[in-house]
Amino acid sequence: MKKKNSDPQILSSVKNALRILKSFSTFEPTQKVSDLAEELGLAKSTVSRLLSTLASEGFVIKDEGTRDYRLGLSVLTLGGIVTNNLEIHNEAAPVLNRLVNDTGETAHLSILDELDTIYIHKEECHHPVRILTHIGRRNPSYCTGSGKVLLAFNDDDILERVIEKGLVSYTENTITDPNKLRREMELIRKQGYSISTEELTVGTRSVAAPIRDYTGRVVSSISVVGPIQRMKNGKIPGITNKVVNAAKDASERLGYDERYFRKFSKV
């Protein structure tokens, strides 16, 4: 009989390696051993050993000049496999494409990951001036159109965890008052969509609506984002209508039947 490995160090090493990978972001594409050690509360020797292991498998790459690390192609390969096998990604892709053509602005598909929002698919607009966004980018959920939709239609305890973590102000329009944010969630649930104007980045506006699966659960959000100069107040009602309809289309592709849920919600 093969002896079961009970060494907890193996699991902690895997966990710490994953924590290192998750520390990379759009805002911090490179990392130093010393910074990672301080951020994660690990010894420099431990971080260095784990990075060397990750580098040997292509998950990180070391710049021999600066000694900094960045993510490697192995992460991209795994990300592509996950994305291609996500049902929501496959079903929503043509919807996003049509939404870009209808609105003239960049469209995103987003999900909630822990307390943040992540773009998992993007269809770029054709304007020469575009809002810089990235697939895989992690944004605070309480100050983006897509994030607010996902918070509003999720469990209340997630919103409370976001509030408890702290509502950081990114612009003068960022909602930092917990009660105001709770009222915003109630409004979004009532109207079925979210609008974010310069809450995370100055000069940008986004409109988002929820995507539901066959159980009626909100699993993603669809949004368009663009500069305020193009997404002017007078255009927002028309854009909102197109985003909401696109979200309904994507939901139906996932098996959601609005008539069925309306019927039984009245019983």
| Range in 55-59, 107-111, 227-231, 255-259 with the lowest mean pLDDT | 255-259
Q: Which of 229, 228, 240 is nearest to 197 (CA)?
A: 228
The stretch 166-181 carries a mean pLDDT of: 94
Confidence category of residue 134, pLDDT binned at 50, 70, 90? low
The amino acid at residue 35 is D
Residue 250: CB atoms within 10 Å: 27
Give me the pLDDT at residue 266, please. Answer: 45
Q: Is the pLDDT of residue 227 over 80?
A: yes
What are the tens digits of pLDDT across the range 30-87?
999 999 999 999 999 999 999 999 999 888 999 888 989 998 877 766 766 566 556 6
Give yes or no: residues 29 and 92 share one domain. no
The number of folded domains in the chain is 2
Give me the helices (H) in 24-177, please: 33-40, 44-56, 73-85, 87-103, 145-152, 156-165
Percent over 90 (pLDDT), the chain:
48
| CATH code, domain carrying 113 | 3.30.450.40
Q: Is the dihedral of CA 42, 48, 52, 58 positive or negative?
A: positive
Give yes or no: residues 68 and 103 share one domain. no
Answer with the one of 54, 75, 96 that is the final residue of a domain.
75
Token reading at 14:
């895997």
Confidence category of residue 130, pLDDT binned at 50, 70, 90? low
Q: Could you write out the DSSP letters of every residue in 118-139?
A: EEEEEE--S-SS-----TT-EE
Answer with the one of 23, 48, 75 that is the final residue of a domain.
75
Q: Could you give the 3-state DSSP secondary structure of residue 71? A: strand
Given a contact cutoff of 8 angstroms between Cβ atoms, the answer to whether 92 and 113 are in contact is: no
Q: Is 228 domain-assigned?
A: yes
The stretch 108-136 carries a mean pLDDT of: 76
| Enclosing domain of residue 112 | 86-265
Q: How far is CA 75 from the centre of its chain?
A: 17
Q: Which conformational region is residue 255 in: left (phi greater than 0), alpha (psi within -120 to 50 degrees), or beta? A: left
What are the tens digits of pLDDT across the range 205-219?
999 999 998 888 898
Q: Is the pLDDT of residue 224 over 90?
A: yes
Give yes or no: residues 62 and 169 share one domain. no
The amino acid at residue 4 is K
Q: Is 235 domain-assigned?
A: yes
| Range in 114-128, 140-154, 206-220 with the lowest mean pLDDT | 114-128
Q: Is the pLDDT of residue 167 over 80?
A: yes
Give me the pLDDT at residue 94, please. Answer: 85
The stretch 214-230 carries a mean pLDDT of: 90
Give yes or no: residues 140 and 63 share one domain. no
Q: Which of 97, 144, 130 is nearest to 229 (CA)?
A: 130
Give me the pLDDT at residue 139, please. Answer: 86
Identify the top-confidence range among 63-77, 82-96, 125-139.
Answer: 63-77
Give yes or no: residues 159 and 131 share one domain. yes
Element (H, E) at 250: helix 236-253
Give yes or no: residues 24 and 112 share one domain. no
Contacts of 226 (CB under 8 A, 6+ apart): 104, 105, 106, 125, 127, 131, 204, 205, 206
- pTM: predicted TM-score of the whole model, two decimal places: 0.68
